[in-house]
Amino acid sequence: MTPSRWDATSSYLIDVFGAQDEQLTTLSPRAVAAGLPDIAVSPDVGRLLKLLTGMTGDGRGARLAIELGTLAGYSGIWIARGLAPGGRLITIESVPAHADFAQREFETAGLSGSVEIRRGAALQVLPALAQEVGPGSVDLVFLDALKREYSDYFRLLRPLIAPGGLLVADNVLGSGSWWIDEPAGRNADRDGADRFNHLVAADPDFEAVAVPIREGVLIARRMR
């Protein structure tokens, strides 16, 4: 695999599997024009999130999903579209301007009844959220906030994930500024992702794999 072959393959996957509606197509350019960072999962990863969300909850879709890192709402819209009827997505965002933008997008998408943004840093918000929703109540978790904190998120969220539920994480192989094959000790996000990958892989209650789509997506199922 060469860099140019990787880019061409990623483009192919988006061309074939990344069909999306007008709102999702224009969301990232509109977010960038509004001053938000140009960071979102790709359309094929979006479809993967919807697909995985829909496979939980005994195949009817997640009844409760939690996302860490809302940003402009792009991935949240995909997840919300995979929820069970009456299902909810709680998505956590620390930057007020991002949460404001995403709130409008959820409204435009007709999802304001099923998506709720919790404002604040994930590690600050999670302990109270865990108390609120209770053990075994969450069918799908999507991690996309600070890569160096992924293992801490996992420790806090682990008891909440229902048997058969899924833990999904973005950027487990890289992001704009690092890649997983680089030496340890130079980039806290690389090291955080590496630590997280090993932590989940070694957890006897989870079966985990990472798929090399875009910047790497970890998928783990709670077995018991």
Three-class secondary structure of residue 34 per DSSP:
coil
The dihedral formed by the CA atoms of 201, 11, 140 and 50, expressed in degrees to the nearest 10: -150
Closest approach of Cβ 16 to Mg ion, in Å? 21
**Chosen from ligand DHB, Mg ion, none, partner binding at 177 (C-beta under 5 to 8 Å by type):** ligand DHB
Three-class secondary structure of residue 179 per DSSP:
strand
With binding defined as CB under 5 A, does residue 171 bind Mg ion? yes
Tell me the site size for Mg ion, rule CB under 5 A: 3
Site for ligand DHB in 120-159 (CB under 6 A): 144
Contact code string over 92-131 relative to Mg ion, x by CB under 5 A = ----------------------------------------
- Beta strand 138-143 pairing with 115-119: unpaired
Options 74-82, 101-109, 114-122, 174-182: segment touching ligand DHB (CB under 6 A)? 174-182
The correct pick among 67, 139, 170, 191 for binding ligand DHB (CB under 6 A) is: 170
Options 16-24, 134-142, 171-179, 190-198: segment touching ligand DHB (CB under 6 A)? 171-179
Determine phi and psi for 46, rounding to 5 degrees: -55, -45
| Number of helical H runs and strand E runs in the chain | 8, 7
Beta bridge partners of 217: 170, 211
